[in-house]
Amino acid sequence: MNGADALISTLIANDVTACFANPGTSEMQFVAALDRNPAMRPVLCLFEGVATGAADGYARISGKPACTLLHLGPGYGNGLANLHNARRAFTPVVNVVGDQATYHRQYDPPLSSDIHGIVSPNSLWVQSADSPDAVASLAAEAVGASYGPPGGPVTLILPADSAWLETKAADPVLAQKPVRPAPDGAAIDAAAKAIKAAKNPVVLIGGQACLADGLAQAARLQAAGVTIYADTFLARIPRGAGVFAPKRMQYFAEMAMAELQGVDLMVFAGTTQPVAFFAYPNRPSVLVPQGCQTLSAIARAEDAVAGLTALADALGAPKTGPAPALALPDAAPTGNLTSYAAGASIARHMPEGAIICDDSVTSGAGVAAGVATARPHEALGLTGGAIGDGLPMAVGAAVAAPDRKVISLNGDGSGMYTIQSLWTMARENLDVTVVVFANNSYRILNIEMERTGAGAAGPQAAKLLGLGDPSLDWVPLARGLGVTATRCDTAEQFEAAFAEAMSQRGPRFIEAVI
């Protein structure tokens, strides 16, 4: 057994069974070993940003890491942005980055670079397996480290000779899977006491607190008179009928501050103090009202479900909290196609258990409003702000949950970042419906330009904010990548196209011209 076999068999033993890959020469032993280890599913991605975003989406849904297979420093670099998003989502990802043979590194061949330096900023753990005997134990360490808590990407560097040489350390090694510690009882008590004393208390939840069990406990707090807010961008949150819907922290600082006016206590559960996505001249950085008390009750790494349960119990909260009833739009939307009209159609036809992968930027609010009381579903958000994760996440989510409908919502600017994702959807026949909201613009930047005090865009600036001239023609693009595609200019067309997509299996692409 060589090092590559040892690696894959240890990954499989630790339930890492999907590999999103774009390999090169230094990874050929890993590739060959896949045929001897068929429990690992290889998924080819035509660009590494697809592979890393898919691993992110896979882990968000399955709760366990996938591995990626990447070609040295530049291959990792191509996937870096979506690993930034994964780091901000606290999702476990095991990156396997091939490297030169150990003895060849000293000659600094053209593809060599400082891999350790490139990967460190987005890796919870980095090691290089510099002998075949080190591979299995380091792979187990990598898997364990990826779970955190609260989890994130890790990187195992695999020199070519560590993969091709025989190893005596051939037995799979099992990872230590860490457990989230219970929150400090005193912190929970302090939070309960402060909430009782406050006039207008808020609990801000994030991370694990926003999964189903955490939301159920947060709903109890709401029922006890505490206002619950969730972070603006969430790795994963159940939504829709029967699911408690916390308020969301507004993206724009001034709107968030207006909404929080009068709040005299903010307690953080599974997250930290809210801050503005960007600073702007004369606008606040920290989104906490003046004079408002803040308390960290439950750290990100702690068991937020246990903590929220204890807090609700301490407050004598009822056993259950509010949740919306199912309410779907009666009629199909008509007329101009807007993100709100699209949201209504999505609500009408999206089946229970659907997964929405959201990178739709300025079009997101319309859909979110539409589906608020739709059939229960889950939403995966753009946690790190690096656009181009909506299509790759959908690849990974669909691999993780083949029986659930996946809906990928994208701006046109975002969608172009990792358009190669469509090909993987076609090859793997993934049940993903892709929507691109085509407004021919980096619309958010037109808004942000004014907010940063930079003034209105002149002709030079406008060139950098607009996607027109020429307009992207998405339908042939999608078809060229192997996905059936439709263009919708009206709400009626979108309604029909989306309904049809929901009635069938396999990848579908809808250009929503808004």
Candidate residues 427, 441, 489, 493; the one interacting with a copy of itself per rule CB under 8 A = 427
DSSP state of 345: H
Q: How far is the CB of 167 from a copy of itself (least distance, A)?
A: 15
3-state secondary structure of 147: coil
Sign, CA torsion 319/322/324/325: positive
Candidate residues 202, 386, 434, 512; the one interacting with a copy of itself per rule CB under 8 A = 386
- Residues numbered 113-132 forming contacts with a copy of itself, rule: CB under 8 A: 113-114, 117-118, 120-122
* Burial grade of 472 (CB within 10 A; 0-12, 13-18, 19 or more): middle
Q: Pattern 190-229, binding to a copy of itself, x per CB under 8 A?
A: ----------------------------------------
Candidate residues 10, 14, 17, 29; the one interacting with a copy of itself per rule CB under 8 A = 29
Candidate residues 6, 7, 17, 49; the one interacting with a copy of itself per rule CB under 8 A = 49
Spatial separation of the C-alpha atoms in residues 392 and 58, rounded to whole Å: 10
Q: C-alpha angle with apex 247: 185 to 57, nearest 5 degrees? A: 85
Q: Which two tokens stand for residue 377?
A: 């579903």
Q: How far is the CB of 426 from a copy of itself (least distance, A)?
A: 5
Nearer to a copy of itself, 73 or 343 (CB): 73
Using alpha carbons, select from 315, 320, 342, 312 the residue that is nearest to residue 329: 342
Please give the single-letter amino acid code of residue 158. L
Spatial separation of the C-alpha atoms in residues 297 and 365, rounded to whole Å: 30
Spatial separation of the C-alpha atoms in residues 375 and 327, rounded to whole Å: 8
Q: How far is the CB of 470 from a copy of itself (least distance, A)?
A: 4
Nearer to a copy of itself, 126 or 367 (CB): 126
Nearer to a copy of itself, 192 or 485 (CB): 485
3-state secondary structure of 434: strand
> Which single residue is written with the structure tokens 């994963």?
236
Nearer to a copy of itself, 303 or 428 (CB): 428
Describe the strand order of the beta sheet including 237-239 as a list of residue ranges: 237-239, 377-380, 355-359, 406-411, 432-438, 508-513, 484-488
Query: By CB under 8 A, is residue 166 in contact with a copy of itself?
Result: no
Number of residues that bind a copy of itself (CB under 8 A): 103
Nearer to a copy of itself, 314 or 461 (CB): 461
Candidate residues 66, 80, 139, 198; the one interacting with a copy of itself per rule CB under 8 A = 80
The H-or-E segment that residue 96 falls in is strand 93-99
Q: How far is the CB of 82 from a copy of itself (least distance, A)?
A: 8
Q: Which stretch binds a copy of itself (CB under 8 A): 126-134, 201-209, 361-369, 410-418?
A: 410-418
Using alpha carbons, select from 355, 359, 298 the residue that is nearest to residue 60: 355
Pairing status of strand 508-513 against strand 484-488: parallel
Q: How far is the CB of 252 from a copy of itself (least distance, A)?
A: 11
Spatial separation of the C-alpha atoms in residues 43 and 65, rounded to whole Å: 14
- Residues numbered 263-292 forming contacts with a copy of itself, rule: CB under 8 A: 273, 275-279, 281, 285-286
Please give the single-letter amino acid code of residue 138. L
Query: By CB under 8 A, is residue 383 in contact with a copy of itself?
Result: yes
Q: Which stretch binds a copy of itself (CB under 8 A): 214-222, 242-250, 307-315, 383-391?
A: 383-391
- Residues numbered 445-484 forming contacts with a copy of itself, rule: CB under 8 A: 445, 448-449, 452-455, 457-461, 463-465, 467, 469-482
Spatial separation of the C-alpha atoms in residues 223 and 237, rounded to whole Å: 20
Q: How far is the CB of 498 from a copy of itself (least distance, A)?
A: 21
Candidate residues 1, 12, 63, 77; the one interacting with a copy of itself per rule CB under 8 A = 77
Using alpha carbons, select from 275, 289, 28, 11 the residue that is nearest to residue 154: 11
Q: Which two tokens stand for residue 189?
A: 């008590």
Q: How far is the CB of 322 from a copy of itself (least distance, A)?
A: 29
Candidate residues 1, 28, 182, 496; the one interacting with a copy of itself per rule CB under 8 A = 28
Candidate residues 53, 75, 206, 366; the one interacting with a copy of itself per rule CB under 8 A = 75
- Residue 291 φ then ψ, to 5°: 80, -5
Query: By CB under 8 A, is residue 81 in contact with a copy of itself?
Result: yes
